[in-house]
Structure 1
Amino acid sequence: MLEKEKEALAKRIAGEITLSSDPGKTMRKWREIFGISQTELAEFLGVSSSVISDYEGGRRKSPGASTIRKFVEALLEIDEKRGGNVIRAFSRTIGSDLPTNAILDIREFAFPVTVADIVTAVKGEIAANEDLLGRKIYGYTVIDSIQAILEMSSDEFLKLYGWTTERALVFTKVTTGRSPMIAIRVQGLKPAVVVLHGVKRLDELAVKIAERERVPLVISKAKDENELIVSLRALVEKAEKI
């Protein structure tokens, strides 16, 4: 199943852990992306949960090549047994040819940030689901909503999520917010947070969809797209130093 994608993803995870300034935090990030608990991972590897906890908390020395290999293999095998959802999500990004006019910026965080961090970065106001400010975010995609509507097919829209849906989708040139939220509702995949920039009058339906799907909805007050992107990139750099 998706052998080439598995190999590419394995190399990516192992490379990030090896080159990370904090390997334990990077291991935790990937474990959480796969939605695997410390207990489940420990049982699969035949070790105690405290071993996983110690690695992630930096209480054990940096893992060697053998440990990293076993860790990565465990994540992939557990995901395969569950249906391979993470592997399949990653496969959508391989060789993808996203329309450059629609994608203004797409980045991943070295370590997860929260919805609250995103709100601060985009000078945002919460319009729905304020109780989810602590949700973890692993990346963001900034989209020109007009170009996306004109250029992107439904399959291409799915590629906005990169290798995880636990990300912020940031739509610019938005008037009411209805179209982006309907697109998310129809596609079925839910981002961790939606940011709307340029809203003149927020549509009630957009808010209702956000509430129903349990997706935090944020209205950005950044003065323009450049300020929006610069602030988000600064958050990427900050996350690397955590």
Structure 2
Amino acid sequence: MLEKEKEALARRIAGEIALSSDPGKTMRKWREIFGISQTELAEHLGVSSSVISDYEGGRRKSPGAATIKKFVEALLEIDEKRGGNVIKAFSRTIGVELPTSAILDIREFAIPVTIAELVEAVKGEVMTRKDELERRIYGYTVVDSIKAILEMSSEEFLKLYGWTTERALVFTKVSTGRSPMIAVRVQGLKPAVVVVHGVKKLDELAVRLAEKEKIPLVVSHAENENELISGLRALVEKSERTA
């Protein structure tokens, strides 16, 4: 299944771990992207959970090529047994030109950040699911809501998620928040958090949809799009310094 895509993803993961200044943190990041627990990964590899924990916590020396290979193969094998959702998501990003006129910025974090950190970066106000602020996300996509909703096809919209839905979708030029939440609901895939910018009066339907879909909805009070994106990029830089 998707052999070329699987090979490309394996090279990406292995390369990130090998080149990382903190391989353990990078291993944890990818394990969490695949949604695999330390226990499940340890059982698949035939080691104790403490071994995985020690690598991720930096208590063991940096993994060698053989260890990285086994780690990557385990992630992919477990994902395939579950239906290959991560591999399929990654395959959608290969060789595809995104609708750049709608995308204002798209970045991945070197290490995951919490929704709470994202909220601070965008000068946000949390409207729903305040109990999920410690949830970790792996990237963000900032889109012009008018172009995204009016011009993008369903297939193009799905590509806003990159290789993981555990990210923030940030919509600009939003007046009430209703249209972005409707668009998110009908697409099937759900982001970890939705941020809306430019809201004059938040529509109650947007709030109800966010609650129904169990998605934290955040209203950004950044003065303009430049300030919004600058805050997000500063968060990327912070994650790179921490990595």
- Flag structure 2 segments of 5+ consecutive residues without an equivalent: none
Give the 3-state SS of the residue equivalent to 2:127 in structure 1.
strand
Partner of 2:97: 97
Partner of 1:21: 21
Aligned residue runs from structure 1 range 28-107, under 5 A:
28-107=28-107
Tell me the CA shift for residue 150 of structure 1. Answer: 2.7
Looking at structure 1, the residues matched to 83 and 20 of structure 2 have their Cα atoms a distance apart, in angstroms, of: 29
Partner of 1:129: 129
Residue pair 1:177, 1:203 contacting (<8 A) in 2 also: yes
Looking at structure 2, the residues matched to 190 and 148 of structure 1 have their Cα atoms a distance apart, in angstroms, of: 16
Looking at structure 2, the residues matched to 129 and 233 of structure 1 have their Cα atoms a distance apart, in angstroms, of: 24
Looking at structure 1, the residues matched to 92 and 169 of structure 2 have their Cα atoms a distance apart, in angstroms, of: 17
Residue pair 2:149, 2:183 contacting (<8 A) in 1 also: no
Partner of 1:182: 182
Looking at structure 2, the residues matched to 95 and 42 of structure 1 have their Cα atoms a distance apart, in angstroms, of: 34
Partner of 2:236: 236
Looking at structure 1, the residues matched to 59 and 240 of structure 2 have their Cα atoms a distance apart, in angstroms, of: 20
Counterpart code for 1:222: A
Write the deviation string for residues 121-156 of structure 1: whole angstroms up to 9, x where unpaired: 000001111111111110000000111123210010
Looking at structure 2, the residues matched to 225 and 137 of structure 1 have their Cα atoms a distance apart, in angstroms, of: 21
Tell me the CA shift for residue 111 of structure 1. Answer: 0.5
- Flag structure 1 segments of 5+ consecutive residues without an equivalent: none
Give the 3-state SS of the residue equivalent to 2:47 in structure 1.
coil
Partner of 1:154: 154
Give the 3-state SS of the residue equivalent to 2:99 in structure 1.
coil
Tell me the CA shift for residue 188 of structure 1. Answer: 1.4
Counterpart code for 1:193: V
Give the 3-state SS of the residue equivalent to 2:24 in structure 1.
helix
Looking at structure 2, the residues matched to 96 and 222 of structure 1 have their Cα atoms a distance apart, in angstroms, of: 31
Tell me the CA shift for residue 34 of structure 1. Answer: 0.4
Partner of 2:4: 4
Instruction: Tell me whether 1:111 sits opposite 2:111 in the alignment.
Output: yes
Residue pair 1:99, 1:151 contacting (<8 A) in 2 also: no
Counterpart code for 1:10: A
User: Once the two structures are aligned, what percentage of the paired residues are identical?
Assistant: 82
Looking at structure 2, the residues matched to 5 and 70 of structure 1 have their Cα atoms a distance apart, in angstroms, of: 18
The TM-score normalised by the length of structure 2 is 0.98
Partner of 1:172: 172
For these two proteins, the number of residue pairs brought into alignment is 242
User: What is the CA RMSD across the aligned residues, in angstroms?
Assistant: 0.7
Partner of 1:212: 212
Looking at structure 1, the residues matched to 225 and 241 of structure 2 have their Cα atoms a distance apart, in angstroms, of: 25
Give the 3-state SS of the residue equivalent to 1:105 in structure 2.
strand
Tell me the CA shift for residue 96 of structure 1. Answer: 1.5
Counterpart code for 1:159: K
Counterpart code for 1:104: L
Q: After the TM superposition, which segments of 4 or more aligned residues of structure 1 sit over 6 Å from their partners?
A: none
Write the deviation string for residues 25-58 of structure 1: whole angstroms up to 9, x where unpaired: 1000100110111111111111111110000000
Counterpart code for 2:107: R
Give the 3-state SS of the residue equivalent to 1:77 in structure 2.
helix
Instruction: Tell me whether 1:195 sits opposite 2:210 in the alignment.
Output: no
Looking at structure 1, the residues matched to 204 and 151 of structure 2 have their Cα atoms a distance apart, in angstroms, of: 26
Give the 3-state SS of the residue equivalent to 1:138 in structure 2.
strand
Looking at structure 1, the residues matched to 189 and 41 of structure 2 have their Cα atoms a distance apart, in angstroms, of: 26
Looking at structure 2, the residues matched to 231 and 25 of structure 1 have their Cα atoms a distance apart, in angstroms, of: 23
Give the 3-state SS of the residue equivalent to 1:112 in structure 2.
strand
Residue pair 1:144, 1:172 contacting (<8 A) in 2 also: yes
